Chain A
Amino acid sequence: ETGVTQTPRHLVMGMTNKKSLKCEQHLGHNAMYWYKQSAKKPLELMFVYNFKEQTENNSVPSRFSPECPNSSHLFLHLHTLQPEDSALYLCASSQDRRNTYEQYFGPGTRLTVT
């Protein structure tokens, strides 16, 4: 595996479900990011981790809970989501927080909340 991988690629969940998105980067990077991409809107930064420490929470509702057990893995735990949370969730990584201008993205998880 190379680059940034994300699983699952597609997810359909009900509003009462709990699910998790997984991201893994094979680039030796130390910063990882979660973004939300909705139709007709710019990418929205959700969370940033640098050397496993969360450095930014961009006013994300608590129904989204990130976890970064090590520099290579990032999770996004989801619970009691709303239909408006349906979107493409993208993970990205960079060498560290100083190299935010050179981020590499995974393929995304297409989430549908029913």
Chain B
Amino acid sequence: QKEVEQDPGPLSVPEGAIVSLNCTYSNSAFQYFMWYRQYSRKGPELLMYTYSSGNKEDGRFTAQVDKSSKYISLFIRDSQPSDSATYLCAMSALQGAQKLVFGQGTRLTINP
């Protein structure tokens, strides 16, 4: 079993839709949960990170962590064609104690 599972998609939705991207994990020691966005031919860009459980909002993006279910989500409201990219989840345990473990990435396309 992989430590982090992420559906690779592809996921295609119309402009303006609410997008839900998800990852599940098996390691209960994970404390930090990150979402990266990667455009084609570019490196990953950190969108946001969350420590432990709860929600975090940044503009149209909301990250949720449910540690009891070992499940994290990224919601994108009012999706735009410019949101079309691959979204990577990543997790780590204690500060400096463990490396980042990435999901495979979900390829998202927002259709105008």
Contact = CB atoms under 8 A, between A and B. Distances in A.
Interface string A84-103: 00000010100011111111
Given A40-B8, A43-B102, A99 B43 contact: no
Interface string B10-41: 00000000000000000000001010100001
Contacts, number: 63
A32 interface: no
B104 interface: yes
Contacts of A101: 32, 34, 49, 51, 92, 95, 100
B50 to A, nearest CB: 9
A97 B92 CA distance: 12
Given A42-B105, A43-B102, A45-B100, A100 B92 contact: yes
B43 A100 contact: no
Interface residues of B, number: 27
A6 to B, nearest CB: 8
Interface in A68-114: 90, 92, 96-108, 110
A4 interface: yes
Interface residues of A, number: 26
Contacts of B2: 42
Interface string B48-90: 0101000000000000000000000000000000000000101
Interface of B: 2, 4, 8, 32, 34, 36, 41-46, 49, 51, 88, 90, 92, 95-96, 98-105
List 6 A-B pairs, minimum CB-CB distance, nearest first. A105-B43, A101-B32, A98-B96, A42-B102, A43-B102, A98-B95
30 contacts: A40-B8, A42-B2, A42-B4, A42-B88, A42-B103, A42-B104, A42-B105, A43-B44, A43-B88, A43-B90, A45-B99, A45-B100, A56-B99, A58-B99, A90-B43, A92-B43, A100-B98, A100-B100, A101-B34, A101-B49, A101-B51, A101-B92, A102-B46, A102-B49, A104-B46, A105-B36, A105-B43, A105-B45, A105-B46, A110-B41
